[in-house]
Amino acid sequence: MALLYNNSTKIDRAAPDQVTSSFLRAYLLDRDDKEASLYTCKQPQLGGLATLRSDMVSREKNFGTTVSATWESLKVTASQNAKSVAVDLAISGAKNGQQVSSHTESWTFGLVDESGWRVCSATKVS
């Protein structure tokens, strides 16, 4: 039984796109820093993404909306011991079940292999 539990709760860091998606889910949707840290390197540079998340939270408080982010295609590019993942984040706000705002931002996430892929940087492209 313990083996089954360990396999079902194991953090999968084998694919850079999957790690990026799991990190985004933890960081932007769940807003769980502890969970997000499972997918980051030792000293991640995430200032821009932290600003985006703070803005999302601020808009929720100031306008009584729910702000969420979605993403679909993640494009992986490789260099020596690192990978980049390009992602378009669709940020939308809803109030009373109706969408009130929406925009898309392009981001690039830098990943390094530290016993599995981990997000080390996030840079807004546009």
Tens of pLDDT along 77-120? Answer: 987 778 999 999 999 999 988 999 999 999 999 999 988 999 99
**What whole-number distance in Å separates Cα of residue 29 and Cα of residue 90?**
12
Residue 5 lies in a domain: no
Number of domains into which the chain is organized: 1
HSE toward the beta carbon, residue 9, CA cutoff 13 A: 7
Q: Is residue 108 part of a domain?
A: yes
Pairing of strands 98-113, 117-124: antiparallel
6 in a domain, yes or no?
no
**What stretch of H or E contains 74?**
strand 74-78
Q: The domain spanning residue 54 has which CATH number?
A: 3.10.450.50
Residue range of the domain that includes 107 = 14-124
Smallest CA-to-CA distance from 28 within 96, 97, 109, 95 is with 109
Residue at 9 is within a domain: no
Residue pLDDT, tens place only, 16-34: 999 999 999 999 999 999 9
Q: Is residue 109 part of a domain?
A: yes
Residue 1 lies in a domain: no
28, 107 contact by CB (below 8 A): no
